[in-house]
Amino acid sequence: SGLLSGQFAIITGAASANGLGKASARLFAEHGATVAILDLDLTAAQGAAADLGPGHIGLACDVTDRDACQRAVDQLLAQWGQIDVLINNAGITQPLKLMDIQGANYDAVLDVNLRGTLYMTQAVTPHLRRRQRGSIVNISSVSAQRGGGIFGGPHYSAAKAGILGLTKASARELAVDGIRVNAVCPGFIATDITAGKLTDDMLVGIKAGIPLGRPGRADEVAGCCLFLASSLASYVTGSEVDVNGGSLI
Protein backbone atom coordinates (compact mmCIF):
# COMPACT_ATOMS: atom_id res chain seq x y z
CA SER A 1 0.00 0.00 0.00
CA GLY A 2 1.01 3.61 -0.36
CA LEU A 3 0.07 6.84 -2.06
CA LEU A 4 0.94 5.42 -5.50
CA SER A 5 -0.11 1.86 -4.95
CA GLY A 6 -0.82 0.08 -8.24
CA GLN A 7 0.41 3.04 -10.28
CA PHE A 8 3.12 3.23 -12.96
CA ALA A 9 5.52 6.16 -13.09
CA ILE A 10 8.16 7.34 -15.55
CA ILE A 11 10.98 9.47 -14.18
CA THR A 12 13.52 10.93 -16.60
CA GLY A 13 17.13 11.61 -15.62
CA ALA A 14 16.77 9.39 -12.55
CA ALA A 15 19.94 7.30 -12.92
CA SER A 16 22.16 9.81 -11.13
CA ALA A 17 22.87 8.15 -7.76
CA ASN A 18 22.47 11.23 -5.55
CA GLY A 19 20.13 13.12 -7.85
CA LEU A 20 16.62 14.43 -7.43
CA GLY A 21 15.13 11.94 -9.89
CA LYS A 22 16.58 8.94 -8.09
CA ALA A 23 15.23 10.25 -4.77
CA SER A 24 11.74 10.49 -6.28
CA ALA A 25 12.10 7.03 -7.82
CA ARG A 26 12.97 5.61 -4.39
CA LEU A 27 10.09 7.38 -2.64
CA PHE A 28 7.60 6.44 -5.37
CA ALA A 29 8.64 2.78 -5.14
CA GLU A 30 8.23 2.92 -1.35
CA HIS A 31 4.71 4.19 -1.96
CA GLY A 32 3.78 1.28 -4.16
CA ALA A 33 4.55 2.59 -7.63
CA THR A 34 6.25 0.62 -10.36
CA VAL A 35 8.92 2.95 -11.74
CA ALA A 36 10.70 3.33 -15.07
CA ILE A 37 13.97 5.22 -14.95
CA LEU A 38 14.84 6.82 -18.28
CA ASP A 39 18.37 8.13 -18.67
CA LEU A 40 21.14 8.43 -21.25
CA ASP A 41 23.07 5.32 -20.28
CA LEU A 42 21.25 1.96 -20.32
CA THR A 43 23.50 0.27 -17.76
CA ALA A 44 23.16 3.20 -15.35
CA ALA A 45 19.38 3.31 -15.81
CA GLN A 46 19.04 -0.44 -15.25
CA GLY A 47 21.31 -0.31 -12.20
CA ALA A 48 19.27 2.52 -10.69
CA ALA A 49 16.04 0.61 -11.36
CA ALA A 50 17.48 -2.53 -9.74
CA ASP A 51 18.35 -0.47 -6.64
CA LEU A 52 14.62 0.16 -6.17
CA GLY A 53 13.86 -3.53 -5.89
CA PRO A 54 12.42 -6.08 -8.31
CA GLY A 55 10.00 -5.14 -11.08
CA HIS A 56 11.24 -1.63 -11.85
CA ILE A 57 12.63 -0.81 -15.29
CA GLY A 58 15.63 1.11 -16.58
CA LEU A 59 15.63 2.31 -20.19
CA ALA A 60 18.05 4.30 -22.29
CA CYS A 61 16.30 7.41 -23.56
CA ASP A 62 17.73 10.73 -24.68
CA VAL A 63 14.82 13.06 -24.01
CA THR A 64 15.96 15.44 -26.75
CA ASP A 65 15.16 12.70 -29.29
CA ARG A 66 11.46 12.67 -30.02
CA ASP A 67 11.44 9.15 -31.51
CA ALA A 68 13.38 7.80 -28.53
CA CYS A 69 10.80 9.28 -26.14
CA GLN A 70 7.96 7.69 -28.11
CA ARG A 71 9.74 4.33 -28.29
CA ALA A 72 10.31 4.29 -24.52
CA VAL A 73 6.67 5.13 -23.80
CA ASP A 74 5.44 2.53 -26.31
CA GLN A 75 7.67 -0.14 -24.77
CA LEU A 76 6.44 0.67 -21.26
CA LEU A 77 2.81 0.64 -22.36
CA ALA A 78 3.32 -2.75 -24.01
CA GLN A 79 4.82 -4.05 -20.78
CA TRP A 80 2.67 -2.27 -18.18
CA GLY A 81 -0.57 -1.52 -20.01
CA GLN A 82 -0.81 1.87 -18.30
CA ILE A 83 1.13 4.96 -17.25
CA ASP A 84 -0.13 7.19 -14.42
CA VAL A 85 2.71 9.58 -13.66
CA LEU A 86 5.48 11.33 -15.60
CA ILE A 87 8.23 13.26 -13.84
CA ASN A 88 10.23 15.40 -16.27
CA ASN A 89 13.42 15.62 -14.24
CA ALA A 90 16.24 15.27 -16.81
CA GLY A 91 18.20 18.48 -16.92
CA ILE A 92 21.64 19.93 -17.45
CA THR A 93 23.13 23.24 -16.42
CA GLN A 94 26.18 25.28 -17.39
CA PRO A 95 27.71 28.00 -15.18
CA LEU A 96 28.13 30.59 -17.94
CA LYS A 97 27.87 34.37 -17.94
CA LEU A 98 25.58 36.06 -20.44
CA MET A 99 28.30 37.01 -22.94
CA ASP A 100 29.93 33.57 -22.84
CA ILE A 101 26.88 31.64 -24.02
CA GLN A 102 27.47 30.23 -27.49
CA GLY A 103 24.84 28.74 -29.77
CA ALA A 104 25.87 25.22 -28.82
CA ASN A 105 25.48 26.06 -25.10
CA TYR A 106 22.01 27.44 -25.71
CA ASP A 107 21.00 24.41 -27.76
CA ALA A 108 22.28 21.88 -25.22
CA VAL A 109 20.62 23.48 -22.20
CA LEU A 110 17.32 24.38 -23.88
CA ASP A 111 17.12 20.98 -25.57
CA VAL A 112 17.45 18.77 -22.49
CA ASN A 113 15.43 20.90 -20.09
CA LEU A 114 12.69 22.31 -22.29
CA ARG A 115 12.48 20.30 -25.51
CA GLY A 116 12.84 17.07 -23.50
CA THR A 117 9.95 18.06 -21.24
CA LEU A 118 7.79 18.80 -24.29
CA TYR A 119 8.65 15.54 -26.08
CA MET A 120 8.03 13.32 -23.07
CA THR A 121 4.74 15.10 -22.37
CA GLN A 122 3.70 14.58 -25.99
CA ALA A 123 4.66 10.92 -25.85
CA VAL A 124 2.43 10.11 -22.83
CA THR A 125 -0.49 12.45 -23.54
CA PRO A 126 -2.52 10.28 -25.97
CA HIS A 127 -2.50 7.42 -23.44
CA LEU A 128 -3.33 9.67 -20.48
CA ARG A 129 -6.16 11.20 -22.51
CA ARG A 130 -7.59 7.78 -23.31
CA ARG A 131 -7.69 6.96 -19.62
CA GLN A 132 -8.81 10.48 -18.62
CA ARG A 133 -6.27 10.59 -15.81
CA GLY A 134 -2.63 11.26 -15.11
CA SER A 135 -0.21 13.56 -13.32
CA ILE A 136 2.80 15.23 -14.90
CA VAL A 137 5.42 16.98 -12.77
CA ASN A 138 8.01 19.19 -14.45
CA ILE A 139 11.21 20.09 -12.61
CA SER A 140 11.94 23.79 -12.99
CA SER A 141 14.23 25.75 -10.65
CA VAL A 142 14.47 28.78 -8.40
CA SER A 143 16.80 30.00 -11.18
CA ALA A 144 13.70 30.58 -13.30
CA GLN A 145 12.12 32.74 -10.62
CA ARG A 146 15.03 34.83 -9.44
CA GLY A 147 17.05 34.98 -12.66
CA GLY A 148 19.96 32.80 -11.75
CA GLY A 149 21.13 30.43 -9.11
CA ILE A 150 24.51 29.18 -8.16
CA PHE A 151 25.43 27.13 -11.19
CA GLY A 152 22.97 28.02 -13.87
CA GLY A 153 23.66 30.56 -16.57
CA PRO A 154 21.02 32.82 -18.14
CA HIS A 155 20.23 30.12 -20.71
CA TYR A 156 19.45 27.72 -17.83
CA SER A 157 17.18 30.34 -16.22
CA ALA A 158 15.47 30.77 -19.59
CA ALA A 159 14.99 27.03 -20.06
CA LYS A 160 13.59 26.60 -16.55
CA ALA A 161 11.30 29.63 -16.98
CA GLY A 162 10.19 28.08 -20.27
CA ILE A 163 9.22 24.97 -18.33
CA LEU A 164 6.91 27.09 -16.15
CA GLY A 165 5.15 28.42 -19.24
CA LEU A 166 4.93 24.97 -20.77
CA THR A 167 3.57 23.60 -17.47
CA LYS A 168 0.78 26.15 -17.28
CA ALA A 169 -0.15 25.89 -20.96
CA SER A 170 -0.28 22.10 -20.88
CA ALA A 171 -2.17 22.14 -17.55
CA ARG A 172 -4.78 24.40 -19.15
CA GLU A 173 -5.07 22.28 -22.29
CA LEU A 174 -5.10 18.87 -20.58
CA ALA A 175 -7.36 19.71 -17.62
CA VAL A 176 -10.46 18.73 -19.61
CA ASP A 177 -8.96 15.24 -19.90
CA GLY A 178 -8.41 14.87 -16.16
CA ILE A 179 -4.65 15.27 -16.53
CA ARG A 180 -2.86 17.49 -14.03
CA VAL A 181 0.44 19.24 -14.82
CA ASN A 182 2.51 21.02 -12.18
CA ALA A 183 6.02 22.34 -11.73
CA VAL A 184 8.42 21.99 -8.82
CA CYS A 185 11.01 24.72 -8.31
CA PRO A 186 13.85 23.38 -6.18
CA GLY A 187 16.21 25.84 -4.60
CA PHE A 188 19.73 24.89 -3.66
CA ILE A 189 19.74 21.10 -3.20
CA ALA A 190 22.88 19.11 -2.43
CA THR A 191 23.34 16.69 -5.39
CA ASP A 192 26.16 15.78 -7.78
CA ILE A 193 25.40 19.00 -9.68
CA THR A 194 26.82 20.91 -6.70
CA ALA A 195 29.00 18.31 -4.90
CA GLY A 196 32.59 19.41 -4.39
CA LYS A 197 32.12 22.56 -6.43
CA LEU A 198 31.42 24.96 -3.57
CA THR A 199 34.04 26.81 -1.54
CA ASP A 200 33.38 27.49 2.15
CA ASP A 201 32.88 31.16 1.31
CA MET A 202 30.26 30.29 -1.29
CA LEU A 203 28.44 28.05 1.22
CA VAL A 204 28.31 30.84 3.82
CA GLY A 205 26.84 33.17 1.21
CA ILE A 206 24.31 30.60 0.06
CA LYS A 207 23.15 29.79 3.58
CA ALA A 208 22.75 33.49 4.34
CA GLY A 209 20.19 33.67 1.53
CA ILE A 210 18.17 30.68 2.77
CA PRO A 211 15.86 31.41 5.72
CA LEU A 212 15.89 27.72 6.76
CA GLY A 213 19.67 28.09 6.93
CA ARG A 214 20.79 25.03 4.98
CA PRO A 215 20.77 23.46 1.53
CA GLY A 216 17.86 21.16 0.76
CA ARG A 217 18.04 17.40 0.43
CA ALA A 218 16.95 15.42 -2.61
CA ASP A 219 14.32 13.56 -0.56
CA GLU A 220 12.72 16.91 0.31
CA VAL A 221 12.13 17.57 -3.38
CA ALA A 222 10.93 13.99 -3.84
CA GLY A 223 8.28 14.52 -1.14
CA CYS A 224 6.83 17.39 -3.13
CA CYS A 225 6.88 15.32 -6.33
CA LEU A 226 5.05 12.52 -4.51
CA PHE A 227 2.38 14.93 -3.30
CA LEU A 228 1.82 16.34 -6.79
CA ALA A 229 1.88 12.90 -8.42
CA SER A 230 -0.64 11.44 -5.97
CA SER A 231 -4.36 11.98 -5.44
CA LEU A 232 -3.52 14.16 -2.41
CA ALA A 233 -3.07 16.86 -5.07
CA SER A 234 -6.23 16.00 -7.03
CA TYR A 235 -7.27 19.68 -7.19
CA VAL A 236 -3.78 21.06 -7.90
CA THR A 237 -2.88 21.82 -11.50
CA GLY A 238 -0.88 24.51 -13.27
CA SER A 239 0.89 25.35 -10.03
CA GLU A 240 4.54 25.93 -9.30
CA VAL A 241 5.61 24.63 -5.91
CA ASP A 242 8.71 26.11 -4.32
CA VAL A 243 11.04 23.77 -2.42
CA ASN A 244 13.75 26.25 -1.53
CA GLY A 245 13.95 26.74 2.25
CA GLY A 246 12.33 30.14 1.91
CA SER A 247 14.83 31.58 -0.59
CA LEU A 248 12.20 33.83 -2.18
CA ILE A 249 10.74 35.28 1.01
Q: Which of 39, 84, 220, 242 binds ligand NAD (CB under 6 A)?
A: 39
For 237, the enclosing helix (H) or strand (E) is none
The answer to whether the beta carbons of residues 37 and 49 sit under 8 Å apart is yes
Binding mask 78-97 for ligand NAD (x = CB under 6 A): -----------xxxxx----
The answer to whether the beta carbons of residues 70 and 123 sit under 8 Å apart is yes
Stretch that binds ligand NAD, among 2-10, 61-69, 73-81, 126-134 (CB under 6 A): 61-69
The answer to whether the beta carbons of residues 57 and 6 sit under 8 Å apart is no
Output the smallest distance, CB 5 to ligand NAD, in A.
26
Measured CA to CA, the distance from residue 129 to residue 110 in angstroms comes to 27
Measured CA to CA, the distance from residue 174 to residue 138 in angstroms comes to 14
The answer to whether the beta carbons of residues 13 and 48 sit under 8 Å apart is no
Contact flag: residue 12 with ligand NAD (CB under 6 A): yes
Q: Which of 27, 49, 96, 112 binds ligand NAD (CB under 6 A)?
A: 112
Q: Which of 11, 21, 153, 229 binds ligand NAD (CB under 6 A)?
A: 21
The answer to whether the beta carbons of residues 41 and 15 sit under 8 Å apart is yes
The answer to whether the beta carbons of residues 186 and 221 sit under 8 Å apart is yes
Output the smallest distance, CB 2 to ligand NAD, in A.
23
Output the smallest distance, CB 35 to ligand NAD, in A.
14
Restricting to residues 178-207, which ones interact with ligand NAD according to CB under 6 A?
186, 188-189, 191-194
Q: Which residues bind ligand NAD (CB under 6 A)?
A: 12-13, 15-16, 19-21, 39-40, 61-64, 89-93, 112, 116, 139, 141, 186, 188-189, 191-194
